[in-house]
Amino acid sequence: MPRTRSVPYARKRRKKWLKQAKGFWGGKHKLYKQARLAVMRSLISKFKERKRKKRVFRSLWITRINAALRLEGMKYSQFINVLKKNQIELDRRTLAQIAYDFPEDFTALVKICKG
């Protein structure tokens, strides 16, 4: 009985990794072993960055809210505390967007919280 070879499957597997490594620098897009390692590393980095992105944006929103509040003479922590007491359920993303795009509406919201 003739020996079977896994050439088509091995080629397909190698091409899959090389296709994902398209655009990488140097041998990382040409050489199979380097490409596979680079792609595995990049997939790990992508996963970590998706988690990190959420933290970065939340801190950006808090910074924007705090900056807008300082102009009104109020602190971020006090503002959030008053919002929770008054049961105003606006998330930080929305508050930051209001503070950035509609400062006069944000000022009105702060006056509601102050008085």
Ordered per-residue pLDDT tens for the chain, 115 residues:
677 777 788 899 999 999 999 999 999 999 999 999 999 999 999 999 999 999 999 999 999 999 999 999 999 999 999 999 999 899 999 999 999 999 999 999 999 888 7
Name the superfamily (CATH) of residues 10-114.
Ribosomal protein L20, C-terminal domain (1.10.1900.20)
Q: Are 113 and 77 in contact (CB under 8 A)?
A: no
Q: Are 69 and 83 in contact (CB under 8 A)?
A: no
Q: Are 65 and 99 in contact (CB under 8 A)?
A: yes
Q: How far apart are CA 73 and CA 69, in angstroms?
A: 6
Q: How many CB atoms neighbour CB 36 within 10 A?
A: 18
Q: Are 96 and 65 in contact (CB under 8 A)?
A: yes
> Which one, of 71, 58, 77, 59, lies nearest residue 106 by Cα?
71
Q: Is the pTM of this model over 0.85?
A: no
